[in-house]
């Protein structure tokens, strides 16, 4: 059975827990995501620990954001770990995104547009006027023009971003919550089925899976729901 297009966010308290979660979910999902906290605590060892023998894709979510030369050096440093995906902030500018792309050619550079935790009011207080979707589209076009092969945006904006950048760019959506799940610190969310229907390629899901009593079963359940929704969409064409 083909694993579902889900990146499980391994926001674990320690390396052993992260590795255990990864082993439980990898039969059902295509990707595991390592964030800044886990990487800073354990360094490169965390990649080998969660990858294990499964060969699952590793999404290294460091959200690099600095001057182009510094980001190039950082991207070059982690490229040897062979992440499938590495994130940078699109707000760092075209030269910075391009520097990351050139420094880590084997990784898919994913440019983060606007964090899913930010609401319109948050952006306004930070000096960004207008709906979040406008900022997301501007940053998406900038990043793709600089060579980014993927974009990170909320599920609320994914349809508009897909229309803006076309079919060749991988769209990654955090802020994905199964029906009835707590939105927690996410401001712009959607269900997995809705996000995929709107054009997302990879869904980032963390606590609804890792916070459950059985992360493997939770991942399997969401994967099965996505397969059912996809089959229904095909039948309705």
Tell me the pLDDT tens digit for each residue of 75-101: 999 999 999 999 999 999 999 999 999
pTM of the model: 0.90
Residues 25-56 have pLDDT tens digits of 999 999 999 999 999 999 999 999 999 867 78
Q: Residue 54 class from Cβ within 10 Å (0-12 exposed, 13-18 middle, 19+ buried)?
A: middle
Kindly give the pairing relationship between strand 29-35 and strand 57-64. parallel
Active site residues: 63
């Amino acid at each position: 059975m083909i694993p579902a297009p889900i990146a499980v966010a391994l926001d674990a308290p320690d390396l052993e827990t992260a590795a255990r979660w990864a082993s439980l979910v990898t039969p059902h999902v295509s990707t595991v995501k390592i964030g800044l906290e886990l990487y800073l605590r354990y360094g490169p060892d965390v990649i080998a620990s969660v990858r294990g023998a499964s060969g699952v894709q590793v999404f290294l979510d460091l959200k690099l954001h600095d001057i182009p030369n510094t980001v190039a050096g950082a991207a070059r440093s982690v490229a040897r770990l062979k992440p499938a995906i590495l994130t940078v902030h699109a707000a760092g500018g075209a030269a910075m995104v391009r520097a990351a792309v050139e420094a880590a050619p084997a990784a898919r550079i994913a440019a983060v547009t606007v964090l899913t935790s930010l609401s319109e009011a948050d952006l306004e207080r930070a000096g960004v006027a207008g709906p979040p979707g406008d900022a997301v589209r501007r940053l998406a076009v900038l990043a793709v023009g600089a060579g980014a092969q993927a974009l990170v945006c909320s599920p609320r904006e994914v349809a508009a971003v897909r229309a803006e950048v076309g079919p060749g760019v991988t769209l990654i959506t955090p802020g994905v919550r199964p029906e009835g799940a707590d939105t927690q610190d996410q401001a712009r969310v959607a269900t997995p089925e809705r996000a995929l229907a709107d054009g997302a390629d990879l869904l980032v899901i963390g606590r609804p899976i890792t916070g459950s009593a059985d992360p493997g079963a939770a991942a399997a359940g969401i994967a099965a729901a996505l397969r059912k929704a996809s089959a229904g969409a095909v039948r309705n064409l």
